[in-house]
Amino acid sequence: MYELEEKTYLYLLFILPILVLVFLYNLYWKRKKQREFGDLDLVKKLSPEKSVFKPILKFVVVLLALASLVFALVNPKIGTKMETVKREGIDIVFAVDVSKSMLAEDVAPSRLEKTKQVVSQIINQLGSDRIGIVAYAGSAFPVLPITTDYSAAKMYLQSMNTGMVSSYGTSLDEAIEMATGYFDKDSKTSKLIIMISDGEDHSEGAESAADEARKAGVKIITIGIGTEKGGPIPLRRNGVVESFQRDNENQVVVTKLNEQTLQTIGKSTKGGYVNGNNTKEVLDYVKHALDNIEKTEFESTQMADFESQFQWFLGIAFALLLLDIFFLERKTAWLQKLNLFNEKE
């Protein structure tokens, strides 16, 4: 088994064909100038020790050295052994509010960006827990199924925006129902939903959905993003604020944090609520909550112990570059006697 640690550096290999084209053009240009100078046979007689093959050989050696350096940067890794790894943790689903109200900037840089920061920091302090992500506005949308791939989770998290769910409004009940559906009903693993929202709810079934989640053995921790004073919802075009969201009476809409709804949901599932405007407070609260949730051994898998192999490619590169230094462009005496490349007159 093998893996490439820094695949991005493979793009540097595209430089090699460019160098080949430059080298071929240089050979063509030299030959053209030699013809302009005089008869080619006469030019060869003026420099009888100059090899035609050696410059090509030196160039090939340099190309191989550069290719080896690129692979050293990529750092191929080879799996040397297999071992059984047992993981203990819980299943966590992040339900992230992506409704238009999350664009409000009463929390810097915006409610949605603050949400991404908070969730990312929570993921950073997790151990062996499995996580999933649900986005919701007027309806819920599955973003990432339950996984242990935290890197993928962060990638999907950063790509979330208010345009990924077409329906308007905020339906906390649908978010809870979809997040609850992520869990395996027959699994004994502890289940937790971490819901991040400004608390605005345009549905009437949030408490009922939370009660159903509790019956299914799911706890919900709610995190409120926003302020009681609230703020307008900016409408941007090409990154520039053109106007603000207005209601049917052409009044600027001011969206405010509704903590009461979020507190009710958290309390009804024996989870809890925390204001999300202070990231450290959120992390401390979630960590304390996770420490008090029973962990379950939910996976036993085979993991390869990979070892870096970059040093081999680095050694090959330096050896080739050192070899290139000793390659002279004049003909080699014993090779000249063999006349392998038809250089002997």
pLDDT at 235: 85
- Cα 194 from Cα 271, distance rounded (Å): 9
Closest CA relative to residue 343, chosen from 54, 42, 33, 25: 54
DSSP state of 256: -
Give the pLDDT confidence of 207-254 residue by residue, as tens digits: 999 999 999 999 999 999 999 999 999 988 877 878 888 888 888 989
Say whether pLDDT at 148 is over 90. Answer: no
- Could you tell me if 196 and 111 are in contact, meaning their C-beta atoms sit under 8 angstroms apart? no
Mean pLDDT of 137-143: 91
Mean pLDDT of 157-171: 85
pLDDT at 303: 56
Average pLDDT of the chain?
A: 85
Say whether pLDDT at 345 is over 70. Answer: no
Mean pLDDT of 154-179: 88
Give the pLDDT confidence of 54-109 residue by residue, as tens digits: 788 888 999 999 999 999 999 888 866 666 667 788 999 999 999 999 999 999 99
Closest CA relative to residue 94, chosen from 42, 157, 36, 52: 157
Mean pLDDT of 292-321: 80
pLDDT at 239: 75
- Cα 281 from Cα 326, distance rounded (Å): 64
pLDDT at 32: 81
Domain made up of 85-300: CATH architecture: 3-Layer(aba) Sandwich (3.40)
Q: Which is more confident, 146 or 42? A: 146
pLDDT at 83: 64
Share of the chain above pLDDT 90, in %: 52
pLDDT at 7: 85
Mean pLDDT of 201-206: 81
pLDDT at 1: 65
pTM: 0.65
Give the pLDDT confidence of 106-121 residue by residue, as tens digits: 999 999 999 999 999 9
pLDDT at 56: 85
Domain boundaries, the chain: 2-75+309-338, 85-300
With H, G, I as helix, E, B as strand and everything else as coil, classify residue 103: helix
With H, G, I as helix, E, B as strand and everything else as coil, classify residue 142: strand
Q: How confident is the model at residue 334 (pLDDT cuts 50, 70, 90)?
A: very low
